[in-house]
Structure 1
Amino acid sequence: MRLLHTFKAVLWAFFGVRKRSGYEEDLGKLSPFAIIGVALVLVLLFIGGLIALVNWVV
């Protein structure tokens, strides 16, 4: 459940829409290492998706 909460927090951060109270709650509950790990995985998936989209269009 904590991993799912971490994914949710990182996705909200990617979009940049988050209430300050939600941010402060996440800051107290989540591990910085988990946030960094999930963010790296999501960035790699995003980049891979962009590369696949460009290859499909071209």
Structure 2
Amino acid sequence: MDEMKDAVKRKMSFGQTMRAVLWSFIGLRKGAEHERDMARLNPVHVVIAGVIAAAIFIAVLVLIVRTVVGQAAG
């Protein structure tokens, strides 16, 4: 139980967590940065940032498909 409380009190801001998650989506992370971030990431922020990033990714894909299909039909 104490581990969970400690995890939630970690030092990285939501913006820093969002940046780490976005870099992870792209797959361009240095090993040293990854290790440093793992010790400081707040798990609650990671989940929220992951959901936001996934929603943005899906929205961009839908926009691209609609644009391509709209141009092909018109």
**TM-score, normalization by structure 2:** 0.70
Which structure 1 residue ranges, 5 or more long, are not aligned? Answer: none
Structure ranking higher on relative contact order (CA contacts 8 Å, 6+ apart): 1
How many positions carry a matched residue from both structures?
58
Q: Which residue of 2 aligns with 1:28?
A: 39
Structure 1 stretches of 4+ moved >3 Å: none
Q: Which residue of 1 aligns with 2:27?
A: 16
| CA–CA separation in structure 2 for the residues paired with 1:32 and 1:52 | 30
Q: Which has the larger radius of gyration?
A: 2
Write out aligned runs for 1:1-58 (5 A). 2-58=13-69
Q: CA RMSD in A?
A: 1.4
Which structure 2 residue ranges, 5 or more long, are not aligned? Answer: 1-11, 70-74
Deviation, 1:49, is 1.0
Q: Identity of aligned pairs, percent?
A: 34
| CA–CA separation in structure 1 for the residues paired with 2:29 and 2:56 | 22
